[in-house]
Structure 1
Amino acid sequence: LSDAAGSDLVVAAGGLGLAPLRPVLLAAAGNRSRFGRVVLYYGTRSPDTVLYSGELEAWRAAGIDVHVTVDRAAPGWKGEVGVVTQLMRAEHFDAGSAVALLCGPEIMMHFSAQTLSGLGIPQARIHLSMERNMNCGVGLCGHCQFGPRLVCRDGPVFSLEQVAPLMKIKEL
């Protein structure tokens, strides 16, 4: 988060991926003067799976630009329907100076990182939380291997610059 001081902060979360990013949003809401624009793009399956709905409103009130989309709308849903990357294309941030933090399903992070990079955020400033099922947690078993890296030892957060070539390999 210190890397984002003075810059726009872009947070992209999919489903339960909002939970690990919640402390970032709480810190940004409590220290708005440390950042430029703070933007949250949050996608989930349906309106009944939206996490922290009360906090989403509090974050809006604190000056965070909150965008929520669902895969499947329910009766009465007035928000967006679709994938997170559709929201990003409106570009609510200064790409040249933005720092992006992503957490969610790997496919969502892959396309979100690709979209944000395409919008001009440097790959070194796009950070992905690469959660993997881990057995030992200390880099011995190799269960969490991601190419030449072990998520438990080297991560779990990597820049897109570090993992972009690996993300192109299907089912790695």
Structure 2
Amino acid sequence: MKLRALGTAIVVGGVLSGVSAVPAHATDWGGNGDPSTCASPITVATAGIYGSRGNLIGKKIGELQLRWSWSCHGNWSRVVLYGGNYPNTVTVEQVVSSEGRSAGATDYVTPGAAGTSAWSPYIRLANSQSTACAQVWASSDFGTLNFHTNGARVCA
């Protein structure tokens, strides 16, 4: 009986661990909408996200991008995490702000071999010349023994 229960626990645990490996969008707040509806987006500024422990010390593991689209007349942040560096889920928290307003997102992603990306809602601007800033905090064990956070900030 105990072996059957153990076998069931292993099967259920395996199924659940497979489910948690799928990138999931957790929460969005603020802003004017989903940037995937904005035509012809461009990256106006970038900042590297660098590892800070273990075999990733000083290695560029991703990039924070400040994005713009004339069709939405707005900015948003996008985080690109490179693949092949570590197999673990990463909590990605990001904020974009301009003209006294902010929008943000928290996502749980697994870069895998191909990498992945996550983004915030866009903020429609009254003045296309306004300075916008984006900031990211990426938290995981990044294949090391300790959970830690790496981040970046960019303004344009």
TM-score by length of 1: 0.22
Higher relative contact order, structure no. (Cα contacts within 8 Å, ≥ 6 residues apart): 2
Which has the larger strand fraction? 2
Which has the larger helix fraction? 1
Larger Rg: 2
